[in-house]
Amino acid sequence: MNRNSQRSWPLLMASARRGGAALALGTALLSGCRETARGTSSSTPLGDVAEVTERTPADAGPVATASAPRAGCALAERLVVPTTQARSVLRARGSSALALDSSHSELAGCRDITAGPDVWYALDLSGFEAAVELHAVVDANFDAVLELRRGACGDTASLDCDRARGIASTPSSIAASLEPGTYWLVVDGADATSRGDFELQVEVDPTPRLCSDTPASGTCAAPLPVEPLERQTLLLDETCLPRAEDEHANAWYGLDLQSETGPVLLQAAAWTLSEPAFQELRLYEAPSVDGECGSELSVAQFSRGLGRSNAELTALLSPGRYALQLSLIGEAQRRAALELSLDRDTCRAGPLANHCEDALSIDPSLPSQVLAGNTACNANRFVSRCAQIDAPEQFYRLDLRSAPGPVRARVTTLVDGLGFSPILALLAADSDGACPDALYCDDSLANFEGPPHLDLSLDPELYYVVIDGEEPGARGTYRLLVELEPAEKSPCVDARIDRCMYANGQADCCLEWSPVCAAAVTLCGLAAPTQECLCAAAPACCAPERDASACRDARAACNYLCPESVASENACLARLP
């Protein structure tokens, strides 16, 4: 919850997950984001969706039943493309619960992760006159692998494969440009225990970059209805989205949760399989009678950056009606998707460590520890200068009152496992359970300097560490690395202390001095007598409207700056007069 305007924060991470190239017939694309179990969907966001006629070839033998396990391409169901002139989206629901292990990928990256039961689908593209774009997505409640193959039944070859859960991603997906011919899509399991229900969606498009559907994007007053399913993926044709005056394309989706008996945790992710795109998600209360959008509950311009996800939003919703807006800024992406999940169980127990009185403990005896948490079920109870936006937080208690001297505390937000855009704050408390205002708040995220961290020299006192959301409604999972070691206060301002003071979002101590600044400079590691000397020698240097020119002689007299410190216009405490 940063006082600055909302910003996107791409955390760039390289990840390779493809089993191999799609040969001359297909183009494998990077992907990645989150590990979650997948379910089924019957919602279609844009244009017409072709009904899939699932047929068993006449010479393929009996249809699979509970007593007749499925086996290989001989029992493949056909995905029938209804037209060769326009985009089609085909859907097939299936189960590998009784299937056999008949397919093993030849691709290096997938050779050892296709040992589970598999279900085959035949896709006949021979009726097309030229190459078509394929986008296939499988939502499954198990560790699923999606594979694309070509060749006669019994002599097929792997072209591409994808295991989403291998890097904690969104649903397993394949995107390729395919010449006319017959292909196979195989829903496989990563191992023998990976089996269960799934839904396969296949988008076939002979006219890429052209809108061949009837544009349908909805409005806030009349959003496109979305079924309240546990999990679903909506395939988007973003070229069909109308552009507003600001050149942004928007789609609106409506969630009717009025029949829910308790809070529901919504997770939404907008992603693309081609190049990264700037997509934005905003959640609103249901429109009022006059058609105007209700209050904005959450906004997401943030992704953990694991390949293809561009924006991720998490919100805790009470029973009611809501509108979700997806905005595209820039060039439309053909292979785009919106993933939605509704979790009715995670937050059933209510909030956790949502204030100082029920804070979780940091063990002061451990030199290093990793804390894993989740703010998703919490409310916004912490308000400070650096935490003015409505987002939930979680509290940790760090009791150093038994320490023999100052302790250097480093708290680092780890990218791995981070599900929202956070800030970190430190509170110094007089007693247990009392929640004072923050003394220090890391502002790195708002300055585009990466995830927040604290590197402070703490006196033997009681503290609380708070992790909060930087954007409205920002919530989710996180991991904190906490490192504790004995510290010695520095007798002068070095580069680390100067950076520490600059990053404090709780007060602008570079230009204005205050009691918060006096406490923060000690937290950053400066010995208290040094700052006291400066303020006594040049009171104007420590005035509310700090006069840097008054500091020159006093800094020299008090040995305020370390010899290696270089005063400059970009410095904070070492700012040039």
CATH number of the domain bearing residue 440: 2.60.120.380
Residue 29 lies in a domain: yes
Residue 228 lies in a domain: yes
Residue 118 lies in a domain: yes
Residue 187 lies in a domain: yes
Taking the C-alpha atoms of residue 119 and residue 566, their distance in angstroms, rounded to an integer, is 67
Query: Same domain, yes or no, for 248 and 214?
Result: yes
Overall number of domains in the chain: 3
Residue 445 lies in a domain: yes
**Domain membership of residue 548 as a residue range:** 495-557
Beta partners for 415?
none
Taking the C-alpha atoms of residue 244 and residue 180, their distance in angstroms, rounded to an integer, is 37
Residue 20 lies in a domain: yes
Q: Which residues of 143-167 are buried (b: 16+ CB within 10 A; e: fewer)?
A: bbbbbbbbeebeebebbbbbbbbbb
Query: Same domain, yes or no, for 443 and 551?
Result: no
Please name the helix (run of DSSP H) or strand (run of DSSP E) that holds residue 189, with its range, or none: strand 182-189
Query: Same domain, yes or no, for 29 and 137?
Result: yes
Query: Same domain, yes or no, for 200 and 235?
Result: yes
Query: Same domain, yes or no, for 251 and 394?
Result: no
Query: Same domain, yes or no, for 54 and 116?
Result: yes
List C-alpha distances in Å: 179 to 26, 126, 133, 143, 182.
Answer: 8, 8, 9, 30, 9
Query: Strand ranges (DSSP E) for 63-170?
Result: 77-79, 88-95, 119-124, 132-140, 144-150, 157-162
Query: Same domain, yes or no, for 332 and 401?
Result: no
Query: Same domain, yes or no, for 275 and 361?
Result: no
Per-residue pLDDT of the chain (577 residues; tens, 9 = 90+): 333 333 333 332 223 333 333 322 233 322 332 222 333 333 333 333 444 434 434 333 333 333 344 568 888 999 999 989 888 889 999 999 999 988 888 887 787 888 899 999 999 999 999 999 898 999 888 889 999 999 989 889 999 998 876 545 568 888 889 999 999 999 999 888 999 999 999 999 888 777 766 656 788 888 989 999 888 888 877 677 777 777 778 889 999 999 999 999 999 988 776 555 678 899 999 876 666 788 888 888 755 444 456 788 889 999 999 999 988 776 655 567 888 989 999 999 999 999 999 999 999 999 999 999 999 999 998 877 777 778 999 999 999 999 999 999 999 999 888 888 899 999 988 777 778 888 899 867 666 677 899 999 999 999 999 999 988 888 989 999 999 999 999 999 999 999 999 888 888 888 888 888 999 999 999 999 999 999 999 998 888 877 777 788 888 899 999 988 877 777 888 877 6
- Count the neighbouring beta carbons within 10 Å of the beta carbon of residue 108: 10
Query: Same domain, yes or no, for 553 and 476?
Result: no
DSSP conformation class of 456: E
- Residue whose C-alpha is closest to residue 474's, from 289, 252, 268: 268
Query: Same domain, yes or no, for 299 and 429?
Result: no
Query: Same domain, yes or no, for 28 and 121?
Result: yes
Residue 199 lies in a domain: yes
pTM of the model: 0.69
Token match 């609380």: residue? 464
**Chain center to CA of 226:** 21
Residue 155 lies in a domain: yes
Q: Which of 463, 486, 509 is where one domain is finished?
A: 486
Query: Same domain, yes or no, for 33 and 120?
Result: yes
